[in-house]
Amino acid sequence: MNQNKRNIMLTLAALVVLFGLACFVQAEVDSYIRRIVNLCLIYAIIGLSMNVTNGFAGQFSLGQAGFMAIGAYMVGIFTVPVELRADVFYAIPMNPHLVNVYMPLWMALILGGVLAAGIAGLIGTPVLRLRGDYLAIATLGFSEIIRIIITNATSITNGALGIKNIPPLNDVRYIFLATAISYVLITLLLNSSYGRAFKAIREDEIAAEAMGINLFYHKNLAFMVSAFFAGIGGGLYGALLGTVDPKNFLFTLTYNFLLIIVLGGMGSVTGSMFGAIIVTAGLEYLRVFDEPLELMGVAIPLFRPGLRMVVFSILLMICVLFWRHGIMGTNELTWEKIIHFVKHPLAGFRKKGVQGK
């Protein structure tokens, strides 16, 4: 069997197995664990989207929170049942052109992604001529501008009051399918000629331009693709919460996803997935350090609210010391590596032992 065909078959089989696992989690696991799993999946989508721009195209963008807000508000505006909208928009009535417009969740997600991509295209025209820290500051500023516009467009977004009564989505199967589709589409893009152009720009812009790559076109394309999937992730995030509020999308939210891609590996798709799981699940399971602890009737003073973040920060510093380019770096977890590990599980240790001698 051709190696590419084998990899495709194994990937499809893995997706089927993982979907079966998602069905099991949905049916057999309590709501708290389901919520953590759903957050991991949503953060994986947004981490992947940020990695397209920051990791693969080499452009330091911090505008993810703004694009998430666009997707979340599209879901909030169009999926709230029509009969409940008067209760939501009680201060200022909803715009009459939108008050009777209803969309299913999948359609609102796509609309949010497309609108986020369109706004990214407009923002990218002036902003992507900048580089490095200047680009980061500019995208961060536009992210805040988007949030402020949402706060003041009261008849459309309900302003600072936010939008309540969004039909809650706590279905692991639905969110897993959205994550799987995003993963496949982003992987196909990055393995295409466009993805190779992104990587060439990341490595050396002057050399890439000398080879005939249109820098502005490909930078803007990466920025728009990143915004599209951030909008999808933001829509799922809003549906999971059941409410959207401008304060949910402060610029500090972007730092969570920057942490995910730095920890997983900037320039690695599978690294973004691992980073999302480690950061999201790790922060939840370290909550035990925020709770009071008594040993033999004596209260341990260290265990108090805030200790969780101290422990998490120490663990992150240790990870950065041992994996300076993230857990995966720019590498991917391929089927060849998995098969080789299954056949020779101790090969890596033996190699290190030989080098040590």
Taking the C-alpha atoms of residue 240 and residue 233, their distance in angstroms, rounded to an integer, is 10
More confident residue, 351 or 62: 62
Report the alpha-carbon distance of residue 48 to residue 41 in Å, rounded.
Answer: 11
Q: Out of 128-142, 228-242, 263-277, 287-301, give the one with best mean pLDDT.
A: 228-242
CB 46 within 8 A of CB 182: no
How high is the pLDDT of residue 107?
94
pLDDT tens for each residue of 312-336 = 888 888 888 888 888 888 888 888 8
Q: What is the DSSP string of 339-355?
A: HHHHH-TTHHHHHHHHH
Average confidence (pLDDT) over 347-351: 56
**What tens digit of pLDDT does each residue of 9-41 get?**
888 999 999 999 999 999 888 888 999 999 999
CA distance 136 to 56: 16
What pLDDT is attached to residue 41? 94
Would you tell me the crossing angle of helices 269-285 and 307-322 to the nearest 10 degrees? 150
* 44 close to 277: Cβ distance less than 8 angstroms: yes
pLDDT digits (tens, 9 = 90+) for 98-144: 888 999 999 999 999 999 999 999 998 888 888 888 888 999 999 99
Mean pLDDT over each residue of the chain, to the nearest integer: 87
Task: Give 89's strand partners.
Answer: none
pLDDT at residue 184 in the model: 93
- Average the pLDDT over 286-303 and give the result: 72
Contact between residue 268 and residue 329 where contact means Cβ atoms under 8 Å apart? yes
What are the backbone angles phi and psi of residue 93, rounded to the nearest 5°?
-60, 150
Contact yes or no for 226/40 (Cβ under 8 A)? no
pLDDT in tens, 214-254: 998 999 999 999 999 999 999 999 999 999 999 889 888 88
pLDDT (0 to 100) of residue 347: 64
d(CA 55, CA 260): 12
- Spatial separation of the C-alpha atoms in residues 166 and 189, rounded to whole Å: 32
209, 219 in Cβ contact below 8 A?
no
Res. 77 pLDDT band, cuts 50 70 90: very high
175's tokens? 């969110």
Q: What does the pLDDT look like over 193-208, one tens digit per residue?
A: 999 999 999 988 899 9
Would you place residue 357 in the very low, low, confident or very high pLDDT band (cuts 50, 70, 90)? very low
Task: Tell me the H-state helices in 29-165.
Answer: 31-51, 64-79, 85-88, 105-127, 132-152, 154-157
